[in-house]
C-alpha cells in the first residue's frame, strides 16, 4: 500500500490541475495602444459585435441621464374639491369666471414646486404617461397669481382685491400633481438598459489589424471584442469538448512531468521519502493555484502573489541545488495559463534567484526584511523592462502590488514551521537552534558526561566537514553528531571518557553485564530525544550511529574468558542501519574519533591506516548496505577524516629550557 502513495499523490495533483486549467492562452496575442502589431495580419474567423469602451458607455449613460425627465402623478379629483371650496366666492356673477380660471389652471397642472431644472417633465395620468414643457405647469404661487389675474380681468368694474385677500388663496389652491419618485426611477432604469453595449459588427473574413499597423483605440476595441468572443466560443465549452479536455490533460501531464523529472535529476533519493515528496507536491499545487485562479480580466493581481516564497520553503528542508531548479519548474504554469506569462515568469524567476542568494546573508531577526528590498528591486527591474519593451506606462497599482509582494515574501516565512509539523520534516532554522551548545539537553550532557560531550563536539566537526565534501546536509550532520550520545546522560560513568583516574565502572561486572549497560545508551538516547521532541531525522541518527555492530572490547573479553563465540546477541547493538547520507557519515565519524584517542602514533600513515580500517570494517559488516552513499563519496569522507585528524593531532614544537647563567 505504501508503494501506491506517491502515484496516488501525483494523480490527485493532476486532477486538481485539470480542474483549474483554463483556456486563457488560446488567444495568444499581446497588444498595447500606440504599439505596432508585430504578428501576422489578423482576420476575423467569425462574426462578432464591436464592444463599446467603458468610457463610451459612461459618456452615453451621462448623456442619457441628462435627458431623463422627472415624472409627476396627476390627480383629476383635486379640481372638483377646489371648485367646491370657491362655491361661495364673491357674487354669483363671478362664479363662471372662477370655474373657468380654475379649470384652465388645473388642466395644465399645479405642483408645490418642481423637483428639477429640466425643460420637460413626464406626467402620469392613470396608466398613460405623456411629456410636457415644465414651463406649462403652475406652482401653487404661480397658480394663485394666475387665478387673481383672471378674476380681476373678469370683474374690472368690481374691487375684488379685498375678496381675494380674505379668501387666502394659497390655502385653497392646492397641487393636483405630485412628484412620483418610483416611476421616475423606473423610467431612468429602462432608459439606461436600452443603451447598446456594441457599436457595429465585424464580419468573418474582415481584417481586424494588419501586420506592422499601429494599434489605435478603435483597433484595440475590435481586438478586445474579438478576444472576448473567442474565449466565450472556444474556452467556455471545454468540459463538453473531448478534444479540449484531452489537450488540457496532455498539457497538465507535461507540466507535472517536468516538475517530477526535475526532482529526480536534482535528488532522486527524495522519491524514497513520501513526506518530502508530499511537501514538494503541496508547494507545486499552491503555485499552480496562484497562477490559475484569477480571471483573465484581473491579471494585475498576480503581481501581488509572492511566488518566491517557494524558494524559502524549499531551502529550509532541502539542499540549495534543489531549490532553484524546482522553483523554475514550478513557475512554468504561468507561461501556459496567463496572457502576460513571459513577464510574470521572468519577474518571479529573477526575484527567486535573488532571494536564494540574499537569504544566505540576511536570515536572522529583523535583517530578514532586507530581502524584501532585493525582491522588490528584482521585480521592478523586469516590470520596467517590459514597460519599455511595450511602450506602456508604469501603473501605480502595479507598483503597490510589487511592494506588497516583496513584503509578503518575508512575512510568509513563518509558515515553514507549520509545514515542519505537517510533514515531519526538520528545517534549517530548527537545526540552527539545536546546534547551539546552550541548548538545555546539551548543557545537561556537558555537565553530567563532559567527556562524552567533548567527544560529540569532535564528531560534529568531522561529520560536518565530511558532509560538506559529499554534498550532504551539513547542519543536520552537526546536530545529529552533537546529540548522538545523549543517552550517556543516564549512566555517564559507564563510559571511559567520563571516568576519573582510578575509577572503573566495569570492575565488578561480567562482560555481558558491561555490554548491556554500554548498548543501552542508544535506547536511552532515543527515549530522551522523543521526550524532548527532537526532530525525527535527529532521532534516527541517534538510533543508527552504532547500527547493528558489536561491543568488540567486551565481546573479545567474553571469548577470552571462555565464553561461547557464537553467543553474539548480548554484545550486539539493536539499532537500525543508517540510510541517509548524514547517518552513514555520523557512524563513520563516531567510530573514527573514538578510535583515534587510543592511537599511540599520530603520524599521517598511522591515521590513514586507522581511518581506512574503521570505515572498511563497517562496510564489510554490511552496516552501510542501505546507506544512500556511493563508494566514491566514501573515499572522499575518508580523505576528509584523515586531513582533519592530522590537524587535530598535529605535533607541537618543544619549548627549550632556559640557559642557566653562571
The answer to whether 96 and 107 are in contact (CB under 8 A) is: no
pLDDT digits (tens, 9 = 90+) for 277-307: 999 999 999 999 999 888 665 678 899 999 9
Banded pLDDT at 158 (limits 50, 70, 90): low
Name the CA dihedral angle for 315, 318, 321, 323, rounded to a multiple of 10 degrees.
Answer: -50
Category of 44 on φ-ψ map: left (φ > 0), alpha (ψ -120 to 50) or beta: beta
Closest among 549, 532, 410, 551 to 479, alpha carbons compared = 532
Burial of 396 (0-12, 13-18, 19+ CB in 10 A): exposed
The region of weakest confidence among 124-133, 210-219, 222-231 is 222-231
> Higher-confidence residue: 658 or 132?
132
Task: Tell me which H or E stretch contains 329.
Answer: helix 320-330
The region of weakest confidence among 18-27, 59-68, 471-480 is 18-27
DSSP, residue by residue, 608-635: HHHHHHHHHHHHHTTTTTT-S--HHHHH
Task: Tell me which H or E stretch contains 163.
Answer: helix 161-166
What 222-229 contacts at long range (C-beta under 8 Å, 24+ apart), as own/partner pairs, is 222/50, 223/29, 223/31, 223/42, 224/51, 225/48, 225/49, 225/50, 225/51, 225/198, 226/42, 226/44, 226/48, 226/202, 227/27, 227/29, 228/51, 229/46, 229/48, 229/49
269 pLDDT more than 50: yes
pLDDT digits (tens, 9 = 90+) for 317-337: 888 778 999 999 999 999 988
Q: What whole-number distance in Å separates Cα of residue 316 and Cα of residue 423?
A: 13
The answer to whether 47 and 201 are in contact (CB under 8 A) is: yes
Taking only Cα atoms into account, the Rg of the chain, rounded to an integer number of angstroms, comes to 45
Give the pLDDT confidence score for residue 488 in this predicted structure: 93
Coil, helix or strand at residue 241: coil
Give the pLDDT confidence score for residue 297 in this predicted structure: 55
Fold of 428-648: Hypothetical protein af1432 (1.10.3210)
> Higher-confidence residue: 116 or 250?
250
Q: Give domain limits for the chain.
A: 2-22+241-422, 24-52+196-234, 72-178, 428-648
Amino acid at each position: 500500500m505504501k508503494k501506491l502513495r506517491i502515484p496516488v499523490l501525483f494523480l490527485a495533483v493532476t486532477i486538481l490541475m485539470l480542474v483549474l486549467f483554463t483556456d486563457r492562452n488560446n488567444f495568444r496575442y499581446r497588444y498595447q495602444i500606440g504599439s505596432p502589431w508585430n504578428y501576422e495580419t489578423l482576420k476575423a474567423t467569425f462574426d462578432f459585435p464591436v464592444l463599446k469602451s467603458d468610457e463610451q458607455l459612461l459618456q452615453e449613460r451621462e448623456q442619457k441621464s441628462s435627458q431623463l425627465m422627472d415624472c409627476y402623478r396627476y390627480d383629476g379629483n383635486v379640481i372638483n374639491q377646489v371648485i367646491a371650496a370657491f362655491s361661495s366666492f364673491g357674487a354669483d356673477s363671478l362664479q363662471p369666471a372662477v370655474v373657468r380660471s380654475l379649470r384652465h389652471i388645473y388642466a395644465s397642472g399645479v405642483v408645490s414646486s418642481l423637483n428639477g431644472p429640466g425643460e420637460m417633465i413626464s406626467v402620469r395620468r392613470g396608466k398613460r404617461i405623456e411629456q410636457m414643457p415644465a414651463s406649462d405647469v403652475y406652482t401653487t404661487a404661480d397658480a394663485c397669481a394666475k387665478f387673481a389675474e383672471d378674476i380681476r380681468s373678469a370683474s374690472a368694474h368690481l374691487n375684488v382685491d379685498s375678496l381675494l385677500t380674505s379668501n387666502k388663496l394659497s390655502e385653497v389652491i392646492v397641487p393636483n400633481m405630485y412628484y412620483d419618485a418610483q416611476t421616475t426611477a423606473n423610467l431612468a432604469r429602462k432608459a439606461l438598459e436600452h443603451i447598446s453595449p456594441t457599436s457595429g459588427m465585424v464580419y468573418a473574413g474582415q481584417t481586424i489589424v494588419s501586420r506592422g499597423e499601429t494599434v489605435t483605440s478603435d483597433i484595440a476595441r475590435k481586438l478586445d471584442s474579438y478576444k472576448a468572443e473567442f474565449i466565450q466560443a472556444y474556452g467556455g465549452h471545454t468540459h463538453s469538448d473531448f478534444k479540449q479536455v484531452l489537450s488540457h490533460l496532455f498539457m497538465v501531464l507535461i507540466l507535472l512531468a517536468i516538475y517530477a523529472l526535475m526532482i529526480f535529476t536534482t535528488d532522486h533519493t527524495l522519491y524514497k521519502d513520501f513526506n518530502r515528496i508530499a511537501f514538494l507536491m503541496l508547494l507545486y499545487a499552491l503555485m499552480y493555484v496562484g497562477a490559475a485562479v484569477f480571471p483573465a480580466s484581473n491579471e494585475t493581481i498576480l503581481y501581488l502573489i509572492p511566488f518566491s516564497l517557494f524558494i524559502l520553503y524549499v531551502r529550509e528542508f532541502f539542499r540549495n541545488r534543489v531549490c532553484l531548479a524546482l522553483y523554475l519548474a514550478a513557475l512554468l504554469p504561468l507561461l501556459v495559463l496567463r496572457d502576460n506569462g513571459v513577464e510574470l515568469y521572468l519577474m518571479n524567476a529573477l526575484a527567486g534567484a535573488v532571494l536564494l542568494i540574499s537569504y544566505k546573508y540576511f536570515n536572522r531577526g529583523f535583517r530578514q526584511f532586507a530581502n524584501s528590498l532585493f525582491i522588490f528591486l528584482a521585480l521592478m527591474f523586469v516590470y520596467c523592462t517590459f514597460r519599455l519593451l511595450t511602450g506602456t506606462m508604469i501603473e501605480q497599482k502595479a507598483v503597490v502590488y510589487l511592494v506588497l509582494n516583496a513584503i509578503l515574501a518575508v512575512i510568509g516565512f513563518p509558515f515553514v514551521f507549520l509545514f515542519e509539523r505537517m510533514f515531519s520534516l526538520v528545517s534549517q532554522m530548527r537545526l540552527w537552534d539545536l546546534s547551539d551548545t546552550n541548548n538545555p539537553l546539551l548543557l545537561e550532557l556537558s555537565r553530567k558526561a563532559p567527556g562524552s560531550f567533548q567527544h560529540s563536539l569532535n564528531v560534529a566537526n568531522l561529520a560536518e566537514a565530511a558532509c560538506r565534501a559529499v554534498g550532504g546536509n551539513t547542519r543536520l550532520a552537526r546536530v545529529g553528531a552533537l546529540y548522538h550520545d545523549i543517552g550517556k546522560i543516564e549512566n555517564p560513568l559507564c563510559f571511559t571518557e567520563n571516568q576519573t583516574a582510578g575509577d572503573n565502572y566495569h570492575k565488578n561486572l561480567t562482560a555481558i553485564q558491561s555490554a548491556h549497560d554500554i548498548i543501552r545508551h542508544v535506547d536511552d538516547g532515543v527515549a530522551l530525544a522523543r521526550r524532548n521532541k527532537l526532530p525525527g531525522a535527529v532521532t534516527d541518527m541517534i538510533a543508527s550511529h552504532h547500527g547493528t555492530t558489536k561491543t568488540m572490547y567486551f565481546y573479545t573479553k567474553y571469548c577470552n574468558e571462555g565464553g561461547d563465540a557464537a553467543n553474539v546477541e548480548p554484545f550486539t547493538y539493536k539499532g537500525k542501519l543508517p540510510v541517509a547520507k548524514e547517518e552513514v557519515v555520523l557512524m563513520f565519524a563516531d567510530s573514527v574519533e573514538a578510535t583515534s584517542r587510543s592511537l599511540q602514533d599520530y603520524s599521517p600513515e598511522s591515521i590513514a591506516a586507522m581511518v581506512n580500517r574503521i570505515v572498511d570494517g563497517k562496510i564489510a559488516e554490511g552496516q552501510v548496505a542501505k546507506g544512500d552513499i556511493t563508494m566514491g563519496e566514501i573515499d572522499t569522507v575518508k580523505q576528509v577524516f584523515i586531513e582533519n585528524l592530522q590537524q587535530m593531532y598535529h605535533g607541537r614544537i618543544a619549548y627549550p629550557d632556559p640557559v642557566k647563567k653562571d
